[in-house]
Amino acid sequence: MKKIALSILLLLFIQIAKAQCAMCKAVVESGGVSEAEGLNSGILYLMIFPYILVGTLLYFIVKHKKK
């Protein structure tokens, strides 16, 4: 039950975490609102894949250790 609650909590924090690096912030400040939203979406999109890959790897490791 704790794992499920933690997973849901982490998924909710992904929606809140719309931060940018210093260089990206400078580019966004010189542009418009749509550019800022697009940049934030791109950062989140690129951030998700390493977590999916590591999660899949850990899933298969745990699955094969139980055998």
CA dihedral defined by 57, 12, 23, 45, rounded to 10 degrees?
A: 50
Averaged pLDDT of the chain: 80
Q: pLDDT digits over 9-35, tens only?
A: 777 776 666 555 677 777 777 877 787
pLDDT interval class at 38 (50, 70, 90): confident
Q: Are 24 and 43 in contact (CB under 8 A)?
A: yes
Closest among 5, 17, 14 to 52, alpha carbons compared? 14
Going from N- to C-terminal start, the domains of the chain cover: 2-65
Q: Are 47 and 21 in contact (CB under 8 A)?
A: no
Tokens 């939203």 sit on residue: 37
